Chains A and B, each alone.
Chain A
Amino acid sequence: MENLTEHVNKLNLQVRRLFQRLEAELRASVPKMLPQVIAIVLAFAVGAIMLLLTGYNPFEAYAAMLIGAFGDTFGIGQTFAQATPIIFTALAFLFAYKCGLFNIGAEGQFLIGAFFAALVGISFSGLPSFIHIPLALGAGILGGAMWGFVPGVLKAKLGAHEVITTMMLSYVALYITGYMVNYPFKAPGWVAQTVLISPSAWLPQILPPTQLSLSIVVAVLLAVATHYTLCRTTIGYEVRAIGLNPSAAESGGIGIKKGIILALVISGAMAGLGGAGEVLGIHRRFIEGFSPGYGWDGLAVALVGGLNPFGILLASVLFGALRSGGMTMTRTTHVPLDVASILQALVILFVAAPMLIKYLLKRGGVKWSGS
């Protein structure tokens, strides 16, 4: 028994240290987030001008949005529910990005993951939940991983650029899942969707009647795990080394090809897990077109979040709030829902544009050399 207590104590200590480090990390990243905060303020300012020009009252609109997103338990629940899938896809983008890869196919990996989870959800009944849920989530991970593996191998073996392959595979995923729910797995009725999954695979809801499910907990844990993996494991170390300087990584004995494949597999798995969470937690089935572009939002959220797992958590809440608050705003003030999309676009523009400008300046800048 003593041995076990010792282990537990050790584990406790490690957990405490981990949280101390997280706190330090967060504190250090606050100044780094400043450009993002300024970008968000600017986006809302420009949005206000646009609202004024088109004859709406911006204060009224923004107030409605804020109340809709955070005003009551339902609003908060919806905000976080909307944020959940984006956390997964943003973390997926981030992980590949750290390896110097631009995985813009999170949408496809997300869809395949969702579909795989739905299949497992449908196929078994009578399994206990504690087996069925992990199994279905695992299927989602597997599906997403597969969808990341293909571009990974194409990149490592043939040098095919991942931007092209991941994007094209996104469409393959969209149409394959579309075909599946229109023909082989179509539920009776008019809608292109599968039948309901067994209740044993349902992810428990938090705060019903909102759409918030246990998936958000998985998402937050995944953010912590991503941070830990990148900073404190050999895999993360190798992935970052490849991303920063492949030549030096190669000289240091790191297998570049293996690393690239692994990074895309993990990235795809993350997005796939997100898709599984949506199916098991909200829709309870795979519905064609259920994702309004969570994969693409992930890319934006990763950038707005300053390419940092914790920044991603904050940024995804902002995007979730825009979605859920936007709906309330439309209902109560007759400001069109498009305003929420415009705000989202403006935030991305203001965050991404300075990055682009900085990048261009760095490339075109004159370097003085001296001895």
Chain B
Amino acid sequence: MQGITKSFPGVLANDKIDFAVEKGEIHGLLGENGAGKTVLMSILYGLYKPDEGKISVNGKDVEIDSPRTAMKLGIGMVHQHFMVVPSLTVTENIILGREPTKNRILLDSKKAFDDVKEFCDRYKLQVDLKAPIHALPVGMQQRVEILKALYRGADVLVLDEPTSVLTPPEVQELFKAVSALKNQGKTVIFISHKLREVLAICDRVTVLRRGKVVGTVKANATSLGELARMMVGREVIFKFDKEQPQTRKAVLRVENIQAVDDRGLPALKDIDFDVYAYEILGIAGVEGNGQTELVETLAGIRKATAGKILLNEIDITEASPSKRIQMGTSIVPEDRQKRGLIMGFSVMENIILGSHDQPPFAKGLVRINIKEALNYAKKLMDSLVHGSNGRINVREVLSYARKLVESLILGSRDKTTIAKGFVRLDITQTSDYARRLIEEFSIKTPDKDTLAQHLSGGTQQRVVLAREFSRNPKLIIASQPTRGLDVGATEYVRSRLVDIRSKGCAVLLISADLDEIWALSDRIAVIYEGRIVAVKDPERTSETELGLLMAGGKSD
């Protein structure tokens, strides 16, 4: 591909990109979100037409105007989101669009099965061919996608962020499969923003930044640091320096809690751990082993069927979500679009969520101070009945009447004040607060009134962080806090977590990303099928051991 340029309204997605892949290599295409990787590959696959530039395959100039043309030229693509029919079997999915037929009409099921079987054996990609797709784990579905592309005659296979949906063991399987393909003479283009993976699997790597090629390097002649620098344009921190804690005070105590999932099946079985001040406790585990339920139970959204939760030694097992927020629990939910933010709310409205009913944002429109009111009412009656020296002092009566009215509508705030129910949001306070947080957390938004749905994923996460970190939390529960974020945003989120830990906050980090757990945690707890199976010191534990524990194996 030479001089490829593609612009969208307001964005130059690809700027004179030269990109060459040799036959039989695994070529990494690395870049942050929005660097133009997917656009470039979509042009190669005929989904977009380039504004400028030319593409040649095997030395011949070609024009690729549709995926059909791309397939004819031997280019296949596996998208981030699978394009499979869940109810059909593996075989049916693979042959879809190129079904072998009898007499040109009837589907030849036997031949189809044999063809596909022979195919799987040739590429050493084993799948249960008769299983319906929806019954397969994600890694297997992806394998079906790869087989589908190969079945259609792909020599060049484009994999778009293939590992983003996989568990660590599945990633290993995928890497084996990709290596096998290379040995069969196939060419693979591996799109990713994960540095380690690219280094582990690729022969050469091309780095894109803001629509331009930064350079192409040999994988065995480069380093993590160099690639990160090329990708982000500056030095990137991987290991955070942390001071040692001064005290060991348990902020959160979880004592043998149990909870059921949405289907009523046990999801948490005797979960028991403590999180201390000045500590990040990482919870490692393959997704779906109870992490979601654990966060919801700690947030007070899901009921614990047994056990106790203590926050600073106060039992909060039965406390409402709002009570827990007020007591100093902050949560960065795993799904920021579903649980973290209200997309139809402005940045400002999102920033005060959870604190909206507390001062200084909420103010009584009507404040009735009962004690004062009663006091003035009595004085008023007295002055009317007795007066001073038998005569009614008009001035006195008026002044008591005024004070009575005042105490009824604008009484001074104390314990007898009733301001419940109708409470006004102080727009000046909320605006100032929102502006301050936008500044402090560098939230890239046109203004505080922009709707959350118009912000990028990284910016949305900053809004969540700004809100959760700014209400003086004692405990932060961060669930998959960097999922879907690019390198720069990930680094920001992680440094913020370390930062708040150093201030004495207890942090519970739940992540499926082992690198993340490793980089941040002071202790690592492994969750498997709703149980904490081990708590380890990251300094004295190997990655293999942790991987084994996450997969349900026993450690020595």
What is A's interface to B at a CB cutoff of 8 Å? 3-4, 7, 232-235, 237-238, 240-241, 244-245, 247-255, 369-371
Determine how close the nearest CB of chain A comes to the CB of B126; give it in whole angstroms: 29
B436 at the interface (CB under 8 A from A): no
The residue in chain A whose Cβ has the minimal distance to the Cβ of B32 is: A371
Q: Secondary structure of the B side of the interface?
A: mixed
The residue in chain B whose Cβ has the minimal distance to the Cβ of A240 is: B345
Q: Using Cβ atoms and an 8 Å threshold, which residues of chain B touch A245?
A: 338, 341-344
> Which single member of A3, A234, A253, A369 contacts B362 (CB below 8 Å)?
A234
Q: Is the CB of A248 within 8 A of B423?
A: no
Q: Is the CB of B343 within 8 A of A235?
A: no
Q: Using Cβ atoms and an 8 Å threshold, which residues of chain B touch A235?
A: 421-423
Determine how close the nearest CB of chain B comes to the CB of A3; give it in whole angstroms: 8
Q: Is the CB of A251 within 8 A of B321?
A: yes
Q: Using Cβ atoms and an 8 Å threshold, which residues of chain A touch B423?
A: 233-235
Could you say which of B229-237, B351-359, B501-509 contacts chain A? B351-359
Query: How many residues from B make CB contacts under 8 Å with A?
Result: 47
B314 at the interface (CB under 8 A from A): no
Q: Using Cβ atoms and an 8 Å threshold, which residues of chain B touch A237?
A: 349, 356, 425
Give me the 8 closest cross-chain CB pairs, A-B, nearest first: A253-B322, A252-B353, A244-B344, A370-B38, A252-B354, A245-B342, A253-B321, A234-B423
What is B's interface to A at a CB cutoff of 8 Å? 33-34, 37-39, 42, 80-81, 160-161, 191, 193, 299, 301, 320-326, 331, 333, 338-345, 349, 353-354, 356-357, 362, 365, 402, 406, 410, 421-425, 427
Among B322, B324, B344, B353, chain A packs the most CB atoms within 10 A around the CB of B353
Q: Using Cβ atoms and an 8 Å threshold, which residues of chain A touch B324?
A: 253
A-B contact count (CB 8 A): 92
Q: A251-B301, A253-B320, A371-B33 are in contact. Are A234 and B340 (CB under 8 A)?
A: no
Q: A233-B425, A248-B338 are in contact. Are A370 and B42 (CB under 8 A)?
A: yes
Q: Is the CB of B425 within 8 A of A234?
A: yes
Determine how close the nearest CB of chain A comes to the CB of B84; give it in whole angstroms: 16
**A280–B547 Cα gap in the complex (Å)?**
75
Determine how close the nearest CB of chain A comes to the CB of B509; give it in whole angstroms: 18
Q: Using Cβ atoms and an 8 Å threshold, which residues of chain A touch B37?
A: 371
List, sorted by A's number, 11 A–B pairs whose CB atoms are closer than 8 Å.
Answer: A234-B362, A240-B345, A245-B341, A247-B339, A251-B331, A251-B340, A252-B354, A252-B356, A253-B354, A371-B38, A371-B80
**A232–B425 Cα gap in the complex (Å)?**
5
Q: Using Cβ atoms and an 8 Å threshold, which residues of chain B touch A241?
A: 342, 345, 353
Q: Is the CB of A251 within 8 A of B339?
A: yes
Q: Using Cβ atoms and an 8 Å threshold, which residues of chain A touch B406?
A: 3-4, 7
**A371–B486 Cα gap in the complex (Å)?**
10
Q: Is the CB of A234 within 8 A of B80?
A: no
Q: Using Cβ atoms and an 8 Å threshold, which residues of chain B touch A7?
A: 406, 410
> Which single member of B326, B342, B402 contacts A249 (CB below 8 Å)?
B342
Determine how close the nearest CB of chain A comes to the CB of B42; give it in whole angstroms: 7
Q: Is the CB of B353 within 8 A of A371?
A: no
**A251–B330 Cα gap in the complex (Å)?**
10
Q: Using Cβ atoms and an 8 Å threshold, which residues of chain A touch B421?
A: 235
**A4–B409 Cα gap in the complex (Å)?**
12
Q: Is the CB of A248 within 8 A of B341?
A: yes
Q: Using Cβ atoms and an 8 Å threshold, which residues of chain B touch A247?
A: 338-339
**A245–B338 Cα gap in the complex (Å)?**
7
Q: Using Cβ atoms and an 8 Å threshold, which residues of chain B touch A3?
A: 406
Q: Using Cβ atoms and an 8 Å threshold, which residues of chain B touch A251?
A: 299, 301, 321, 331, 333, 339-340, 354
**A255–B323 Cα gap in the complex (Å)?**
11
**A199–B429 Cα gap in the complex (Å)?**
48
**A255–B319 Cα gap in the complex (Å)?**
12
Q: Is the CB of B301 within 8 A of A250?
A: yes
Q: Using Cβ atoms and an 8 Å threshold, which residues of chain B touch A234?
A: 356-357, 362, 423-425
**A247–B342 Cα gap in the complex (Å)?**
9
Known A244-B342, A245-B342, A249-B353; 19 more pairs at CB < 8 Å:
A4-B402, A233-B365, A233-B424, A237-B356, A237-B425, A238-B357, A244-B345, A248-B338, A248-B340, A248-B342, A251-B331, A251-B339, A251-B340, A252-B321, A255-B320, A255-B322, A370-B39, A371-B38, A371-B161
Q: Using Cβ atoms and an 8 Å threshold, which residues of chain B touch A371?
A: 33-34, 37-38, 80, 160-161, 191, 193
Among A3, A4, A245, chain B packs the most CB atoms within 10 A around the CB of A245
Q: Using Cβ atoms and an 8 Å threshold, which residues of chain A touch B357?
A: 234, 238, 253
The residue in chain B whose Cβ has the minimal distance to the Cβ of A229 is: B422
The residue in chain A whose Cβ has the minimal distance to the Cβ of B425 is: A232
Q: Using Cβ atoms and an 8 Å threshold, which residues of chain A touch B323?
A: 253
Q: A244-B345, A247-B339, A248-B338 are in contact. Are A369 and B299 (CB under 8 A)?
A: no
Q: Using Cβ atoms and an 8 Å threshold, which residues of chain A touch B326?
A: 253
Q: Using Cβ atoms and an 8 Å threshold, which residues of chain B touch A244?
A: 342-345
**A252–B358 Cα gap in the complex (Å)?**
12
Q: Using Cβ atoms and an 8 Å threshold, which residues of chain A touch B299?
A: 251
Q: Is the CB of B424 within 8 A of A232?
A: yes
Determine how close the nearest CB of chain B comes to the CB of A368; give it in whole angstroms: 9
**A254–B423 Cα gap in the complex (Å)?**
15
Q: Is the CB of B338 within 8 A of A253?
A: no
